[in-house]
Amino acid sequence: MTEEGHAPASMPRVGPYELLRRIGVGGMATVYLARLGGVEGFTRIYALKVLHPHLATQPEIVTMLMDEARIASRIQHPNVVGIVDLGESDEGVLYIAMEYVDGVSLDRLLAPKPNFRPHRLIVPIAMDALLGLAASHDLVGDDGRSLELVHRDVSPGNLLVGTDGIARITDFGTAKARARATRTMPGVVKGKVGYVAPEVALGRAFDRRADVFSMGVLLWNALTGQRLYDTDDIAKNVAQLATLDVPPPSTIGLGPPALFDEPILTALARSPDRRFPDARAMYEALEDALAMSGGEPPRRQIGEWVETSFARLLEKRRELADPDFEVRPVELSSDEGEDATRSFRTVPGETSELAALAAPEWMSAGPAASEAGSTEPPPTEPPPADEGSDRTFRLALLFVVMLVLGLATGVGILFLLTQLA
């Protein structure tokens, strides 16, 4: 462990990659800004996705990471984040090296100004994503047959918007494909609640039109400033999918132009047969609507939106990527994001993530040890004297709530099944 204000003797590495900054954390892995050095001072910057150490011993998780790299590396398209390397360090750390996008995810771009949702900038971002999805849907295997790839996790957090004005789809970790080595267990829903299509939520057969539905949700939310399916509970989400009549986005929240109502509502049809047949068809419908609303803006305007909104954050990343830059402690305000993704430094009472990565025991540490720097259990408060009666009341209340929720969900599922039949 290093002390605050003192740089480590050398930056930790994963394989040949030098870790510079943590830029994202997910359920399966952490993404770092990383640098790869070469001869004569040559360097290149990547986004390095490193599997959480406590998951490295789970074969299914390891296979998922390898599936992601193997499948996504086949997609060569300007609107898909490229995969350039899959490897394992000498310490047994699994990683994927990806193209680094100088920008931020769409959810972060929209967050600072909830009432600033310009359709002339947001719709082209969605159109980029649709082209990336179309390329992934059209992917074929070595035998020339379609891989039947479905991203299954289309959401603002998996859409990166660059300072070059181009948006790119990323994270194929939960994608469904014919060639995948892993299979989803029955009853398990993959994807973000609130964005999954009805057939996915119900565990029924699905295809590329499920991604079209997710893009419809993404656009509806982004343009209105509201959440169409405003729950993080899968059971409640299923009930909403079954019963909610989707209002035209032009009538809700920030009220985007009515020209976009038809393309978005078509994408959000409950029955896949009533949606666009593929992502390219939805792209063309949005392209026509955008042309009638004034036309697509220059890409530089989207890039300027990203650059001006996250100037300090992006500049700090660029400084860290410079091989001649001396890394110093970074203080970022929470509204710029990455308050949990500072340069690798230690503050009193905390364990530096870099120090944890460099330590020999890093691979053997469980989630609590690797995140908090200690496996010591937190202190517990003595229970109150009337805890027994209070617990009985809470259990009874929980039973009633679950019963009511279960009945509502059951009715919703039956209704949704009749709609999809």
| Active-site residue list | 153
SS3 378: coil
How many angstroms separate the CA atoms of 264 and 241, rounded? 15
Listed in sequence order, the DSSP H helices in 81-179 are 106-110, 119-137
The residue among 156, 216, 174 whose CA lies nearest residue 67 is 174
The residue among 266, 148, 154 whose CA lies nearest residue 207 is 148
Q: How far is CA 149 from the centre of its chain?
A: 18
CA angle (11, 15, 17) in 5-degree steps: 50
Instruction: Give the CA count within 13 Å in the CB-facing half-sphere of 161.
Output: 29
